[in-house]
Amino acid sequence: MITEKTITDFIYREADLLDTMQWQAWLDLFHPEGRYWMPLEWQQQDPVLQPSLMYEDLLLLKVRVERLAGERTFSQKPKSRCHHLLQAPQIVACDTAAGVFKARTSYIYTETRGDMLERYSGWASHDLVQVGDALKIKLKRVDLVNFDAPFGNIQLFM
């Protein structure tokens, strides 16, 4: 039985997997049709015909994860690390009958590499589905508060 706590625990666990760089376990949270989306516009509706920073399926996310470990991935020498500070997720939908589970989570995200440290703020929206006993990510949408600002490299996942 999926409860609101199941959703909240899922989101905390996802952040923890990212912070501890358990990339494969993180990928395993995604539904085979899942997407990771970082819009480039305010309240953006269309990930495909409007510009996005990222709109990636599992294949592309695997490429990213595999790249991070690559012997010739020079932008990861030294390696990046990240930290998610999450506000308690707001449950937007928890409808077991319809199979709809959604939450929105305000966050502060830190990515660091070598002597550099960058901090980002925004909202993560999780659109989850039940597969067997577990939840899987159908869509993780990451809206930065300053999506239109020029950033340097963002190499990990918010």
Q: Is residue 33 near other proteins by the rule CB under 8 A? A: no
Strand partners, 86: 107
Q: Could you say whether residue 64 binds other proteins (CB under 8 A)?
A: yes
The least CB distance from residue 67 to other proteins, in Å, is 5
Q: 38 φ, ψ to 5°?
A: -120, 100
- As measured in angstroms, the least distance from the Cβ of 117 to other proteins is 14
CB 109 within 8 A of CB 119: yes
For residue 53, state whether it binds other proteins (rule: CB under 8 A).
yes
Does residue 112 touch other proteins according to CB under 8 A? no
Nearer CB in complex with other proteins: 1/72? 72
Beta bridge partners of 52: 39
Structure tokens at 32: 């085979």
Peptide bond between residue 78 and the one before it cis (omega within 30 degrees of 0): yes
* Interacting residue ranges for other proteins, rule: CB under 8 A: 38, 40-41, 48-55, 57, 59-60, 62-64, 66-67, 70, 72-75, 148-155
